[in-house]
Structure 1
Amino acid sequence: MSRILALAVLLSCGLELTAVGKEEMICRCGRGHAHLLPAPVSEKPGRKYARDRHVDVQHLQLDVTPDFAKRTVRGTATLIFHPIAKPVSELELDAVGLVVEKVSVQGATLASHEVTDEKLVIHFKDPVAPDVQASVNVTYRAQPERGLYFRTPEMGYKPGDTQLWTQGEAELHRFWFPCYDYPNERFTSEVICHVPEGMSVISNGVLVSQTKDAGGLQAWHWRQDKPHVNYLVALAAGYFHKLEDKVGELPLTLYVPPSEKEQAAGAFRDTKKIIEFYQDEIGVAFPWDKYAQVYCLDFVAGGMENTSCTFNTASMLFRDETEQLTTLHRLDAHETAHQWFGDLVTCRDWSHLWLNEGFASYYTVLYEEAKSGRDAMLYSMWREAQRVLEKNDTRPTVWRDYKDPMEQFDQRVYPKGAWILHMIRARLGPDLYRKAIRRYLEKQRGTVATTDDLMDILEEASGLSFDQFADQWLYHGGLPELNVSYSWDAGTKQAKLNVKQTQKVSPEVLLFNLDLPVRFWVKGEAKPRDFSVTVSKVEEDFHFPLPSAPELVRVDPDYTLLAKMSFTPPPDMLKRQLQGDVIGRMLAAQALGGRKDAESAAQLADVLNKDAFHGVRSEAAKALKKMNTPEARAHLARSLSQPDARVRSDVVEALTAFPHPEAWDALMKQAAMEKNPEVLAEIIKTWSQRPGDAAITSALMKHLESNTYWNTVAAAAIATFRAQDDASAVPAILARLQKTPQEFATWDRSAALEALGFLARDEKNPQRTAVLHYLTEHLNNPRESLRVAAAKSLGLLRDPRALAWLAPLAATSKPFKDPVRDAAEKSITALEAAQAGPQELKDVWNKLQELQKKSEDMQRQLEKMPAK
């Protein structure tokens, strides 16, 4: 799949994940699926609550010097604090993998310090009293495995793009400085970073000074004088191309790697408009001294809303040749919204994460309306709803049973959180909602908040009770599943709706009590008739007096309820619904897709080629795919010349459901004229259905040698060779990767390594030894994701000689989950199973099961990390 398609597949990659689809590129782990996500320090069972705070950290100063060549950092961390209620005899700081060289104390007397796998514990000779301000200075060095990341020529990056950057959420800063690494503590901070002349440094707050230090390095001094939480502390340093702008007196800057300077303007296109819109919509001025955006190479998330300086993944940068398929305004809007929701007010603990992510996701949608209109806004809510419906998750949004905070970053807090706010806004109305949210921000400004804090303010502002709403939607899981049927009683002139709640009720999922809006259009009346009924039982009948049988019935016509709705109006109503609002048209297209008749296929084809909104046209393409009839295939084959690349892409994807010469010919003709590399890559992937076709093999070889932005097309050719299981392509793939590895995105290189291992697995393959050596070379690659891919690929290769390289990796010991070690263990087990005799198979199988569980645990982390 192409980079853009991979975006749509990847669910919780990265720390932000507020949208799905080729055009919904919010906060993903770049455009691919092979990024490694921050691994948890440890997984701990049991319910989670906010930490106890024995001291109030008032200020943090970091003075650090990175060594880019060695990928290490030396520094001094100074924390100023005072005990809160009782004297303290020790200060416990989070620290993983730090070499502590010296500890000193001011305002108290140091007794000793000790370093464990996860902590730095500083003991005081005499307890520090609550009214005493004290500070500790920790001199340390580290080669961080998490939290701070280098991108250097030694790692295979372009020399002119050398950079480092940090990523602290959820609890990862402990890997590069000692700290209180939890969100229920706010403090001011400053960062001093020493770098070679010519590099830039970006951090929180304002730039205090830039001077030459005694060692000849440039010392950049940044100060954040408004309190924020630990995970929002940020540092980026290296070579960047910079753009500047202003919103009033607020400075705006954008930094990209120098090699990406041509893509910078596209990333900066909406920032000013977004901030202006938010200041007006929220009613609270931008709360920080500046706003910078830094695009980071192989960022571990899609974006991260550090206070006053967002860090985004450079792999989201794009060229205009991808047309409507790529945009950064949603990523921009999401991270910018966090400057209010998440930074100005932060969730008190990770169970309330939706207060950060749900708000950022919803305000992204509100900006979508301001930018592109109401249809685009409703379509965004539609896509958010689909993500929730697809998961069928019964865990609550406010959930305390996670083993690691990263389990929280999924659809329950992003799209479902956005929908919870959308339902609140629908209940209050836009003006009262806006007033309540402004009050929430003003009251909680500069503090940490819980869900109850928000509910209390909603009640204060509206006079309405939100107890039941919060209980159903936030403290319990699931969502209502409604089966609705319509009938008309001519004798009583009443429309009847039968409503059944079909969700499985359990301690986790309640029987919902909700208001259900219903709208009827009656012939001869200029305006529709609106009703609202309260659904609270397993099954209920509702009657609506009307002068005559309605021409159209819509349930939830304004799209204000998150529910899995089953309601199919009569055929004549469906035709009228196709002429109505955008959600109604998409629902009608879905309903037609469940039929098999030629008339319905023709209706969908008409929608696909004529509807005014791209989302409806895309839904029609999906419905034709679902229909899966010869007529549907013919309509799709004739509809590839879509002017909107988003719809064209969906038509390509729909045609993959038809392994038929008509579909293949249409796709081949489109490939010959397709100028969009992302759409072309999608077409190439469809060729996996045609192994052994000489014309296809020839075309794949040609595309393998092509040069496009990040070699999207060549990567698609490699993926297709693997899908075809065409071992004859191994020499060409190997040569292509060796020729220009830097020109492939990291996730595509990882996928290509796995393709090589898979395709060369036959022991008679003449390239097997060459592939073995190429893969083992990557086991020492500085990029962790490539090491993981190499370890996995050696298991796919099935060559027992690989055991000698894999064994040391499996034997490594680290105080946190290690994806490289896990991949090596799984590959060793696979290789041993392939070599084992009958008497050994049982033991090997048991080991395989054990390692499979570890792999699944890691995969869940990958799926849930989600973009952010």
Structure 2
Amino acid sequence: MAFWIKVCYIRSMKVLLQLCFCFISLFCFSQQAKDVDFKSAKVHVEIQPTIKKVKGQVAYTLDILKAVDSLYIDAVNMNIKNIELIQIHQQGDPEFLNFECKNNTKQLIIYYAFKQDERYELRMEYVAHPRKAMYFVDWVDGVDTVPIENNIKEIDLRKQVWTQGQGKYTSNWLPSIDDMNDKIEFDLSITFKKGFDVITNGRLTHKETQDSTITWHYDMEQSMSSYLVALVIGKYDKKIKHSKSGIPLEMYYYPEDSLKYEPTYRYTKGIFDFFEEEIGVPYPWQNYKQIPVKDFLYAGMENTGTTIFSDSFVIDSIAFVDKNYVNVNAHELAHQWFGDLVTETSGTHHWLQEGFATYYALLAEAFFFGDDYYYWNLYQYVQELLVQEKSGQSSSLLDPKSSSTTFYKKGALVLHLLREKIGNSAFRETVKNYLLEYSFKNVRTEDFINEAENLSGKDLSGFVDRWLKDKTFYIDDAMESLEKSTFIQEYLMVDCEIASSKCITYLNSGISDESKEKVITQNANLIKKEHFKNSVKVRQAIARYLVEIPKELKIEYESLLNDKSYLTVEFALYNLWTNFPESRGAYLRQTKGMVGFRDKNIRTLWLTLALLTSNFEPENSQQYYKELRDYTNSRYDFNIRMNAFKYLSMIKACDQPCKNNLKQASTHHVWQFSKFARQLLKEFN
């Protein structure tokens, strides 16, 4: 049977009136997920990164649960053509149907008398130039390196394409369903130029090689919400480990970062195995992939089986002390159960995703770092929530407009308190039953609470009213729970705002590093020579808070420049340079080759101090200035650029090329960075 090419048209005033009513009411299609079940999607996309273009074909299979006269696909600013609607009969050939449609700037709407309990297929071709959800990083056609600052040096272009659906944005590059209540089994094929790795959800089944491109074919076995469809294109190496249950764990890294693979992915397999044991439900997907990308919008994103995370977490062993990927790693992995396997019905129940992921990440970290670590972080959550309460910004956990602090931190605390209330055994059984009952479905808070009541035999209505519905944060109740920890008791006991011999001895005692840091925070003047013999974390606190350095502590303080902590070195270098002008050259020579984190925290500070230090290598001052200004260029990570802009502004040395780069930064896709750039531009003007 020949394929019909169906052109969209509207033939009657009746249809026009239907359209008007739908868009005026804004509720016309709100119930689609209850009436129409999109089952699967066969997707092929071809991406042209230099012109930010996506060209694709999609074939959706869908079941009609209740007779309707229309359905829609979310498609933002897309040119859609060659649309076909086919009824799939149980017996006989598929039937190509006549229909009417409307392609506006947000949706493709199909008008047809759809019959209950019948299956249909919807096919289309489309072209998109996504303004969000898909990001094209460092694409200059035919160029792999860019000369910086009058050909002084060249830097490699990262050249990536990556996506971030975040709830409802996938429809900017793929005609899909923004409503997370409709779960679809996606199989994706992506055509891209040779020399790049293409990574998406599911299992790579095969690759087809053409003259200049490769088509990568991926298969997903289970359904998921459209916002969890993900895509990364770049140049990577990877290592694969297997969980105890046999799940392949694919860990990607840039080829030049092979020595950073281990510290970046430290504890990954252990976290995975811990979750399967603690949660009691096997990992629900075929495999698990983690891919770092440049200039990501967030720390990480839990796309189904495919976590994308910021490459600022690609670290060496020294950086691991101060800034590691462990928490983000565990948080995004926990989402594979809480958010991906079971998904909120709406923002009202957002804590079921973020609160659970935060809580289970903390459990995983406690497994490796101990119970004190667990209680310390819960205590930090409580302090954040207390600040929110005192500022009048506290809100209900069931308020869809609540802050991240509420959804993440209060959500995790509520789970801790619930576990105490119903007992460990009942809590674990509740979570297990909840996940099994609602696998690949959408959930509300009452679904989870009902499971908890059934398993524990307790009436939780009062708990729900107090901790989920009430916007008040009950600090006394929270602290009563935390003070069951002797570690927290010890920390709260410390009070050294007034100097005392007892407080001095604390710093040489066996109390926790956190308690010692509290002493230093409250009264840095208590620090003596012998206190520099403490752990790296305590020495870091000394570097951070002892900013006016007594001469008798100069030698001990200088030893901080040798610590295996990039933060300690950064604090110590600045404070020593400020306190002892006569030794500035010596400090700069000692730290000359240090770079620090991926954001070059030590190097950018070093360049700034070198420029401000009279008679320090005057023959190199122009080179140092150009290097610092180079770091404002768009080819560098936004964190590096932010540091460079900050220091150039501080020393009033942001010249016209710097300001040009700042203007470009003001339109960057990372909103925190663009906001920073706009504010700095205002200060210059």
Structure 1-normalised TM-score? 0.66
The alpha-carbon deviation at position 461 of structure 1 amounts to 0.5
Give CA deviations for 1:742-774 in whole Å, capped at 9, x if unaligned.
8954223134225435643xxxx8x74554455
Q: Distance in 2 between matches of 1:666 and 1:88?
A: 81
| Contact 1:652 1:667 (8 Å CA) reproduced | no
Q: Aligned partners of 1:65 and 1:421: how far apart in 2?
A: 44
The answer on whether the counterparts of 2:86 and 2:120 sit within 8 Å (CA) in structure 1 is yes
SS in 2 for 1:226: coil
Partner deviation per Cα, 1:399-431 (whole Å, 9 max, x = no partner): 13x3xxxxx561111121111111111112211
1:422 equivalent to 2:416? Answer yes
Are 1:585 and 2:490 matched, yes or no? Answer: yes
Equivalent in 103, 124, 127 of residue 113 of structure 2? 127
1:695 to partner: Cα distance: 4.7
* Alpha-carbon distance in structure 1 between the residues aligned to 2:346 and 2:30: 5
Residues 1:164 and 2:161 are matched in the alignment: yes
Partners of 2:265 and 2:287 in 1: CA distance: 15
Are the equivalent residues in 2 in contact too, given 1:195–1:219 (CA < 8 A)? Answer: yes
* TM-superposed deviation, 1:167: 1.2
- Structure 2 unaligned regions, length at least 5: 1-25, 88-96, 147-154
2:506 to 593, 604, 625: 604
1:828 alignment partner in structure 2? none
Backbone CA RMSD of aligned residues: 3.6
Provide the secondary structure at the position in 1 that maps to 2:683.
helix
Structure 1 contact 94–174 (Cα < 8 Å) conserved: yes
- SS of alignment partner, residue 85 of structure 1: coil
2:541 is aligned, of 612, 630, 650, to 650
Aligned residues of 1:59 and 1:189 also touching (Cα < 8 A):
yes
Task: Report the identity percentage.
Answer: 22
Q: Which runs of 5+ in 1 are unaligned?
A: 1-45, 403-407, 483-513, 518-554, 560-580, 799-868
Q: Matched residue pairs, number?
A: 627
Distance, in Å, in 1 between the alignment partners of 2:66 and 2:577 is 66
Matched with 1:218 is: 214
C-alpha deviation, 1:473, in angstroms? 0.7
What is the aligned partner in structure 2 of residue 84 from structure 1? 65
For residues 96-119 of structure 1, what are the alpha-carbon distances to aligned partners after superposition, in whole Å with 9 as ceiling and x for unaligned?
343435433333423232222xx1
Greater shift, 452-461 or 737-746, is seen at: 737-746
Q: Equivalent residue for 1:109?
A: 98
Describe the SS at the equivalent of 1:737: helix
User: In structure 2, what is the equivalent of residue 243 of structure 1?
Assistant: 239
**Contact persistence 2:561–2:573 (CA under 8 A):** no
1:399 aligns with 2:399: yes
Which of 270, 285, 288 is equivalent to 1:288? 285
Deviations 1:261-302 (Å, cap 9, x if unpaired)? Answer: 221122333222222211211111111111111112222111
Kindly provide the CA deviation profile for residues 73-101 of structure 1, in whole angstroms up to 9, marking residues without a partner as x.
Answer: 22123332233323123x33323343435
Aligned partner of 2:54 in structure 1 is 73
- For residue 587 of structure 1, report the CA deviation from its aligned partner: 1.3
1:653 maps to a residue whose letter is: R
Q: Give, in angstroms, the shift of residue 654 of structure 1.
A: 2.3
Are the counterparts in 2 of residues 316 and 328 from structure 1 also a CA contact under 8 Å?
Answer: yes
Provide the residue aligned with 1:255 in structure 2: 252
Is the partner of 1:269 in helix, strand or coil? coil
- Where relative contact order (Cα < 8 A, 6+ residues apart) is larger, the structure is 1
**Where do 1:102-501 residues align within 5 Å?**
102-107=82-87, 108-116=97-105, 119-124=106-111, 126-152=112-138, 154=140, 159=156, 161-213=158-210, 216-247=212-243, 248-322=245-319, 324-392=321-389, 393-400=393-400, 402=401, 408=402, 410-482=404-476
* Distance 1:743-1:185 versus aligned 2 partners, 3 A rule: closer
Q: Are 1:601 and 1:624, in contact at CA under 8 Å, matched by a contact in 2?
A: no
**Partner of 2:601 in structure 1?**
712
Does the 8 Å CA contact 1:51/1:182 hold for their aligned counterparts?
no
Q: Secondary structure at the match of 2:404?
A: coil
Residue pair 2:281, 2:432 contacting (<8 A) in 1 also: yes
Distance across 1 between alignment mates of 2:132 and 2:446: 33
- Structure 1 residues 323 and 64, CA, compared in 2 at 3 Å: closer, same or farther? closer
Q: Structure 1 706/137 Cα, relative in aligned 2: closer, same or farther at 3 Å?
A: same
Q: Is the 8 A contact 1:79 1:135 kept in 2?
A: yes
1:716 maps to a residue whose letter is: L
| Shift in alpha-carbon separation, 1:684–1:796, aligned structure 2, 3 A | farther
Distance change >3 Å, CA 323–CA 192, structure 1 → 2: closer
Question: Does the C-alpha gap of structure 1 residues 787 and 333 become closer, same or farther in structure 2, counting only changes over 3 Å?
Answer: closer
CA deviations on 1:653-680 (whole Å, 9 max, x unpaired) are: 2224xx4545984685135434533321
CA deviation after TM superposition for structure 1 residue 460, in Å = 0.6
Structure 1: distance between partners of 2:56 and 2:47: 8
CA deviation after TM superposition for structure 1 residue 789, in Å: 5.3
Q: Structure 1: how far apart are the matches of 2:479 and 2:377? A: 21
- The corresponding residue for 1:640 is 532
Moved more, 190-199 or 697-706: 697-706
Identify if the C-alpha distance between structure 1 residues 515 and 174 changes in structure 2 by more than 3 Å, giving closer, same or farther. closer
**C-alpha distance in 1, partners of 2:528/2:358?**
33
> Taking structure 1 as reference, are residues 781 and 722 closer, same or farther at Cα in structure 2, changes over 3 Å only?
farther
Is the 1:704–1:733 Cα contact (8 Å) retained in structure 2? no
Question: 1:141 and 1:167 mapped to 2: Cα distance?
Answer: 19
The one-letter code of the counterpart of 2:527 is H
Pair 1:797 & 2:668 matched = no
**Cα distance change, pair 447–286 in 1 and its aligned pair in 2 (3 A):** same
Call closer, same or farther: CA 1:707–1:445 in 2, change over 3 Å. closer
Q: Secondary structure at the residue paired with 1:606?
A: coil
Per-residue deviation, 1:474: 0.9
Match of 1:550 in 2: none
* Aligned residue identity for 2:648: L
Q: What amino acid maps onto 1:461 in structure 2?
A: L
How many Å separate the matches in 1 of 2:183 and 2:538?
46
Partner residue, 1:485? none
User: Following TM superposition, by how much is the alpha carbon of 1:596 offset from its aligned partner in structure 2, in angstroms?
Assistant: 0.8
Cα deviations across residues 126-161 of structure 1 (Å, max 9, x unaligned)?
322233322333322233222112233539796574
Partner of 1:678: 567
| CA pair 479-791 structure 1, distance change in 2 beyond 3 A | closer
Offset from partner CA, 1:418-463 (integer Å, 9 cap, x none)? 1111111111221121111111111111111111100101011011
Q: Do the aligned residues in 1 keep the contact of 2:604 with 2:647 (CA within 8 Å)?
A: no
Amino acid at match of 2:683: L
Structure 1 CA distance for aligned equivalents of residues 263 and 623 of structure 2:
35
Q: Report the Cα offset of residue 323 of structure 1.
A: 5.2
Number of the residue aligned with 2:642 = 750
String of CA shifts for 1:526-574, please: whole Å, max 9, x gaps: xxxxxxxxxxxxxxxxxxxxxxxxxxxxx86425xxxxxxxxxxxxxxx
Residue 689 of structure 1: how far off its partner (Å): 6.4
- For residue 602 of structure 1, what is the amino acid of its counterpart? I
* Alpha carbons of structure 1 residues 603 and 389: separation in structure 2 relative to 1, 3 Å: farther
Task: Look up the SS of the partner of 1:253 in the other structure.
Answer: strand
* Residue equivalent to 1:625: 521
CA distance in 2, matches of 1:786, 1:240: 26
CA contact (8 A) 1:624 1:636 kept: no
- Asked if the contact 1:296–1:314 (Cα under 8 Å) also holds between the matched residues in 2, the reply is yes
Aligned partners of 2:157 and 2:635 also within 8 Å = no
Provide closer, same or farther for how the CA distance between residues 714 and 636 of structure 1 changes in structure 2, counting only shifts above 3 A. Answer: farther
Q: Residues 515-526 of structure 1: matches in 2 within 5 Å?
A: none
Question: 1:189 deviation in Å?
Answer: 0.8
